[in-house]
Amino acid sequence: MSEPNPYKSEDYEWGPGGQSGTPGQPAYGYPHPHTPAYQPTLPEGVPVPPQHMPGPPQGAGAPLLSLGDITVVGDQIITPAGPMPLKGAVWNVMDMSRTEEKMPTVAIVLAVIFFIFCLLGLLFLLMKEKQTTGFIQVTVTSGGRHHATMIPARGPDTIHWVMGQLNYARSLSM
């Protein structure tokens, strides 16, 4: 490995061309001495360009309706995918929630304890507990775009609240 390269050409040097090999001169890819390493600040008196905040268009007003991440503002439907026109929008809802009714554990324990003392302990077996799980899917289609959102079902009456909001959105879309 200590032998010189027998295939080396005298007129070709490896690396980018135009490099000056003198010490003290900046090489390829290194900053020049007259360029600062930071971006200089604007001098006083120079106006700073306005910063635009993301959100609904200016002058759109307050939100009329909000279902999950779908918001109706003025004559537009704002979604994460972008705005859609409100006129002619098609709204759909699908209830994917379910409500289970079961006997809580405390009812069984109380029924066993009070059965020993009197037969009235069996009345604890009539206790029921309702638990709602799942989601309600709301979809909107307008202007060639489609967006769907999922709203968690907190109770059996969540679908009625969503349908009320959806019927209001349908009335605005006409």
In the chain, where the domains are located: 74-100+131-173
Tokens of 146: 């489609």
What are the pLDDT digits (tens) for 87-144? 999 999 999 999 999 999 988 888 888 877 777 788 888 889 999 999 999 999 998 8
- The answer to whether residue 3 scores a pLDDT higher than 80 is no
What are the pLDDT digits (tens) for 162-174? 999 999 999 998 8
Give 163-172's long-range contacts (Cβ < 8 A, gap of 24+).
163/93, 165/65, 165/67, 166/67, 166/91, 166/93, 166/138, 168/65, 169/65, 169/67, 169/72, 169/89, 169/91, 169/140, 170/91, 172/64, 172/65, 172/72, 172/86
> Considering the entire predicted model, what is its pTM?
0.57
pLDDT (mean) for 3-19: 65
**What CA–CA distance (Å, rounded) separates 162 from 50?**
39
- The answer to whether residue 36 scores a pLDDT higher than 60 is no
For the chain, what is the mean pLDDT? 79
Tokens of 45: 């008196």
Which of 15-19, 54-58, 76-80 has maximum average pLDDT? Answer: 76-80
pLDDT at residue 161 in the model:
94
Tokens of 158: 């969540």
The values of phi and psi at residue 119, to 5°, are -75, -5
pLDDT at residue 110 in the model:
85
**What CA–CA distance (Å, rounded) separates 137 from 134?**
10
